Every structure is written in C-alpha cells, then in structure tokens.
Amino acid sequence: MRMKTTRAFRTISEAGDELGLQPHVLRFWESKFSDIKPIKRGGGRRFYRPEDIEFLRGIKTLLHDEKHPIKDVQKLIAKSGANRIIELGRSVEEASREREVKDMTLVPSRIEKPEAESPAPNKPQTPAVTPKPTFVAKVTPAPIPAPAPEPVAPPEPKDMSGLEDALARLQALKGQWDAFDSSK
C-alpha cells in the first residue's frame, strides 16, 4: 500500500481513517464548524487539505480527548480563531509521531544549560562521550495514595432511659432462659 505525502489531499474516507473518525462524524462537524471547508468536486466528493486535517485533529482533541461541548469549542474558535485549533492539531500530530531517541529533545528549551567551565590549565581536556541508547524504558508513575480518613467521633449520647429499660428486659429474659435451661 502506498502512503500519501503529508501535503496530499484526502478523501473523506482517508481523512476519517487518519483521524480515527467515521465519515458521518466529519460531515456532522462540517455543519457545526463553518471553518471546515473541504474542496468539493463533481458529485459532491470532498477533498480535505492538510490544514483541514489539522483543524479536524484539533477539534477531535477538544471534543473527544478533553471532553469539551461543541458550543464551547465554537466559542473558542470565535474568540481565538481557527489557526489556534490548527496549531493544536499540528502539535498533537507532531507529538504522536514515532521518533528515534537521538532525534528527540530530552531537555526542554526553557531549561538553560549551564555555561561550560573552562578547563584547568594543567589538566588535559577529555572529549565528551555521548552514550548510545540501547533501549527505551517506559516509566509509570507510582499511584498517589489516598489520604487517610479522618477519625469519626462517636455520636453524642441522647436519652439513655429507653436503652436502660431495654437492657433490663433483656437481662430478665436471660434469667428466665437460664432458669428454664437448667430445669431440663
């Protein structure tokens, strides 16, 4: 099977396959989001541009992954513009691509690297050796323990006369049972 380039137009079926959506969902979204404008050819056949795919991916992220209602996504598009949703779709697609470890940025750019110290004058400088990764480890965060429940104070005693009467009756019944049981 030949793969299309990332810049090729997609039919509605190809767009649905790429995004994991059914074609009827894409047609429904076209009715809800006026910024989805695929090119329509003869017979009403739709062709989605790469920007349309990225826009749809951003909408899918907001609706399916983040569980926002359609009205909220419509308001976000009206406020921030369709380009903001396209950027979201691009970043989601970029993050989902498989890459080699050597191609990944492991230290974010917001963390500055310390300035290299100058070598001691009499000490020879050793070249830095970059180790080659042999495997990729998956790190699973440890579950956060639930907080211990607070101790429950016993309820304040209310009128005890009813309980005392019931206890006296039970003791009388027990005495009668013991007398009956010993007479056997």
Residue 47: predicted pLDDT: 92
Residue 70: predicted pLDDT: 94
The dihedrals phi and psi of 39, each to the nearest 5 degrees, come to -75, 130
Residue 34: predicted pLDDT: 92
Q: Which residues of the chain have pLDDT under 70?
A: 1-7, 99, 101-142, 154-160, 184
User: In the beta sheet, which residues pair with residue 11?
Assistant: 47
Nearest Cα residue to 29 out of 89, 87, 115:
89
Domain 10-96 sits in CATH at: 1.10.1660.10
Residue 78: predicted pLDDT: 93
What is the length of the chain?
184
Residue 1: predicted pLDDT: 47
pTM of structure? 0.51
Q: What angle do CA 176, 181, 184 make, to 5 degrees?
A: 130
| Domain locations in the chain as residue ranges | 10-96
All residues at 6 or more sequence positions from 159 whose CB lies less than 8 Å from its CB, including other chains: none
Residue 27: predicted pLDDT: 92
> What number of other Cβ atoms are within 10 A of residue 74's Cβ?
16
Residue 138: predicted pLDDT: 62
Distance (Å, whole) CA 30 – CA 9: 17
Distance (Å, whole) CA 116 – CA 125: 12
Q: Which two tokens stand for residue 152?
A: 């429950």
Nearest Cα residue to 20 out of 86, 96, 72:
96
Q: Which residues of 143-168 are buried (b: 16+ CB within 10 A; e: fewer)?
A: eeeeeeeeeeeeeeeeeeeeeeeeee
User: In the beta sheet, which residues pair with residue 48?
Assistant: 10
All residues at 6 or more sequence positions from 27 whose CB lies less than 8 Å from its CB, including other chains: 12
Check: CB of residue 38 under 8 Å from CB of residue 30.
yes
Q: Which two tokens stand for residue 74?
A: 């419509």
Check: CB of residue 63 under 8 Å from CB of residue 28.
no
Residue 182: predicted pLDDT: 78
